[in-house]
């Protein structure tokens, strides 16, 4: 049931749509041979939607969902990128190779029809 500040339940619908998009993306990576290490992992910098493993390598994935691919892509901000880096750095502290662990940062764009576009190495460290 929607609360007084959200009479139409938009927040709940957005949350459910985001969760469904993350599930689609997780299955997509699993079909490609990755295993799910974490979902919605929260570090000091913020939340990482998916952390995947392939061998000793890790992939940190930000999932963006919107009606269109372009609208999903437009939702990625520099501040968000910095938060993901901070959380990924914290996560790597517990890996056997620490900060030397092979890692990349992907963005998964999901449109309203459920089409997925994976952008590998979506942003590099600056």
pLDDT of the residue at 86: 93
**Topology, domain 10-119:** Trna Endonuclease; Chain: A, domain 1 (3.40.1350)
What is the tens place of the pLDDT at every residue in 49-107? 999 999 999 999 999 999 999 999 998 888 889 999 999 999 999 999 999 999 999 99
Tell me which H or E stretch contains 107.
strand 103-110
Residue 122 backbone dihedrals phi, psi, to 5 degrees: -60, -30
Residue 115: what pLDDT?
A: 94
Convert the pLDDT of each residue in 21-41 to its tens digit. Answer: 999 999 999 999 999 999 999
Mean pLDDT of the 13-18 span: 76
In angstroms, the Cα distances linking 75 to 38, 78, 94, 110 are: 22, 10, 30, 12
Residue 47 confidence (pLDDT) above 80: yes
33 closest CA partner among 59, 62, 8, 2: 59
pTM of the prediction? 0.86
Cα 125 to its chain centre, rounded Å, is: 17
- Domain residue ranges of the chain, discontinuous segments joined by +: 10-119
Percent with pLDDT over 90 in the chain: 71
What's residue 5's pLDDT? Answer: 57
Which pLDDT value is given to residue 126?
A: 45
Across the chain, mean pLDDT equals 88
Predicted confidence at residue 1, as pLDDT, reads 45
């Amino acid at each position: 049931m929607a609360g007084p500040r959200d009479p139409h339940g938009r927040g709940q619908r957005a949350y459910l749509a985001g969760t469904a998009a993350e599930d689609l993306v997780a299955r997509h990576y699993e079909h490609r041979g990755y295993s799910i290490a974490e979902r919605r992992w929260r570090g000091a910098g913020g939340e990482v939607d998916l952390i995947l493993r392939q061998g000793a390598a890790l992939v940190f994935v930000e999932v963006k969902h919107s009606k269109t691919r372009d609208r999903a892509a437009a939702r990625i901000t520099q501040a968000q990128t910095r938060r993901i880096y901070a959380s990924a750095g914290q996560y790597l502290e517990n890996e056997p190779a620490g900060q030397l662990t092979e890692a990349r940062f992907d963005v998964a764009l999901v449109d309203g029809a459920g089409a997925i576009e994976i952008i590998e190495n979506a942003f590099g460290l600056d």
